[in-house]
Amino acid sequence: MKKIILVLLCVVMAGCTFQTKHRGYVFPEDLESKVANIKTTSQLQEEIGDPQTRTIYGDEVWVYYSADENMHGPFPITYDNKTVLLAWVKNGRVLKTQVLHDDDLKDVKIADGETKIPAAIELNALEELFNNIGRFSPAGLGQ
């Protein structure tokens, strides 16, 4: 009985480990001073890299993002050390840069639930199972 409790305790403790993963860009320590001297988009791409996204409407802004994702076993994932680099760009020139950290960023609460898709077909589990019959080729046929 003690062995079963010990094994169960080990499994539970393994689920409570702490792990941090870095997401996005790895910015240099002196990011503000580095981007202050950047005047062209080619310099920006050499120093930081290609942006994760660019704006479509209005001024062209290049956006770079970095954060640490913390996982604490069964608890929700948290993010810290968030950094956002915004670069306003026009005709190959960097007009302005702005670096935002954790304190500058607003907390956005994601709404619970799902957005309904108009005219979407919703199938139950049995319908999904029978709907997939014949869609997949047998393994090893290379098709």
Q: What is the pLDDT of residues 4-62, one digit of tens each?
A: 888 877 766 666 677 888 888 888 888 888 888 889 989 888 888 889 899 888 889 99
Q: How far apart are CA 82 and CA 69, in angstroms?
A: 9
pTM of the full predicted structure? Answer: 0.61
Q: From the centroid of its chain, how far is CA 5?
A: 38
Dihedral sign for Cα 71, 77, 83, 87, please. Answer: positive
- pLDDT of res. 129: 79
List the domain boundaries for the chain.
17-104
pLDDT tens figures, 112-137: 887 788 887 888 888 887 877 777 66
